[in-house]
Structure 1
């Protein structure tokens, strides 16, 4: 497998993430590619010094998580690419579980348990003890206060708690345009921890980098829609859960992200009105080649 980690200003969490990758219980071939998205902290230095990192890509200008993942995907050598955020700490069994279940037509979904920032040595976030809780992921336990128009366009008239994973039989009932409360099948595709066949990702053109320019989020949802249209199954792996280490300024970051989210949602909906992406390998490679030519690539 090839692990692709987009990272921007993740000095608080990247060390524990890489430590967890180094401790994975697998004998298979694994390469780790970190793409530093023009960080303003010690992210690149941490990645450069860590023995778990095989390739470090340093983007000279901030380009967004979508472009960063594309750069990593372009250099990935394995058939399966695992997209992992720079703040996701995995239990030792996770990569082996993904490897066992990977196939050329499957998008494998892991889950995340948000952990509030607790400073440790040198300000690095402490990793909670024990195992992360599957139910902590919003795709497993989802809450809405109601009264606002949601992602799918519905408005819930009262506070609601739903269980998307359980109530849709591991997302199987979300196929063919079906929705559950505010959820449809592409929306459950979250790249905090997700694996996909590299050939399929490249054929649909990878992640659309425009999302990183107009706001926050939705590039993984759009990739999910593209891979589903390419015939991929969406398969949740309940046992694959990681701790998501919040940054020190988590609340402020969320406010900034959510302020730009309507713009990315509008762009996503415009893309859905266009043609289904396919046979975009050449365009993907050309764009990635240009991005990498403007970046620093360090191979071990």
Structure 2
């Protein structure tokens, strides 16, 4: 597995990015996600952790993290569950840095992830930077790094499926707001819809070769397991006018 170097892109400001971590019933792992961000050599301006009306002790864990890291972590505690899209949008509304990373609460960044993503932003000039990830099943070693997008035509890549994940990408803040953030009407496939709408709005994409995140399988419900709803939402994404064109 390739691990990025610790060299920070010198031409980027120290407040170049914020991280939004949506959390629903992940009290047992959300601190791991936060710790993986705080450990980055290229430190974020802020880490905004949004509790999406969890029924477990996630809100208490998040408040404790914010109290332990004043000025670095902000807790946004929502009174009821509104879904991952709404939680990400709430977090994004609190961001001021030019780049936003959306890290899922059950995933973690690898050492040097922020360096690699910001370096990709600096060198490519693109609006969305996409890295590789490795799957981590409970009790097993990380899988070989993968990225669903081959780095070629982004329209072709997105037409083939949800090939970009929030945990291994970073997005220009103005792009997030230009397209109105994530669509709360999507129960799942919300990230696929988000990147499709970004591409349709002429956002540019660049892929880097570094492995930046571990996609973890942890205890708890996962939207990807709702196959019937997933199929319905996939049809919704693929019906977007963006996919009627042949070329990117």
Question: What's the TM-score once normalised by structure 2's chain length?
Answer: 0.78
2:34 pairs with 1:23: no
2:185 counterpart residue number: 210
Over the aligned positions, Cα root-mean-square deviation in angstroms equals 2.6
**Structure 2, unpaired ranges of 5+:** 1-16, 243-248
Helix, strand or coil: the match of 1:41? coil
Trace 1:188-199 onto structure 2 (pairs within 5 A).
188-199=163-174
Helix, strand or coil: the match of 2:47? strand
Report how far residue 138 of structure 1 moved.
6.2
Trace 1:44-193 onto structure 2 (pairs within 5 A).
44-50=59-65, 51-52=68-69, 54-102=73-121, 105-118=126-139, 132-135=142-145, 137=146, 139=148, 165=150, 171-172=151-152, 174-175=153-154, 177-178=155-156, 184=159, 187-193=162-168
Q: How many residues align?
A: 220
2:244 pairs with 1:263: no
2:48 pairs with 1:33: yes
Report how far residue 203 of structure 1 moved.
0.9
Helix, strand or coil: the match of 2:159? coil
Helix, strand or coil: the match of 2:91? helix
Change (3 A) 1:21 1:265: same
1:239 counterpart residue number: 210
Change (3 A) 1:264 1:184: closer
**Deviation readout 1:233-261 (Å, 9 max, x if unpaired):** 22222213322232225xx7467422321
Change (3 A) 1:221 1:255: closer
CA contact (8 A) 1:12 1:247 kept: no
In 2, distance between residues paired with 1:81 and 1:255?
Answer: 23
In 1, distance between residues paired with 2:161 and 2:96?
Answer: 26
CA contact (8 A) 1:108 1:237 kept: yes
**Deviation readout 1:55-80 (Å, 9 max, x if unpaired):** 11112111111111111111101010
Q: 1:12 aligns with which of 18, 28, 34?
A: 28
In 2, distance between residues paired with 1:29 and 1:11?
Answer: 22
CA contact (8 A) 2:126 2:203 kept: yes
In 2, distance between residues paired with 1:255 and 1:87?
Answer: 13
CA contact (8 A) 1:134 1:238 kept: no
- Which protein shows a greater Rg? 1
CA contact (8 A) 1:85 1:193 kept: no
Helix, strand or coil: the match of 1:86? coil
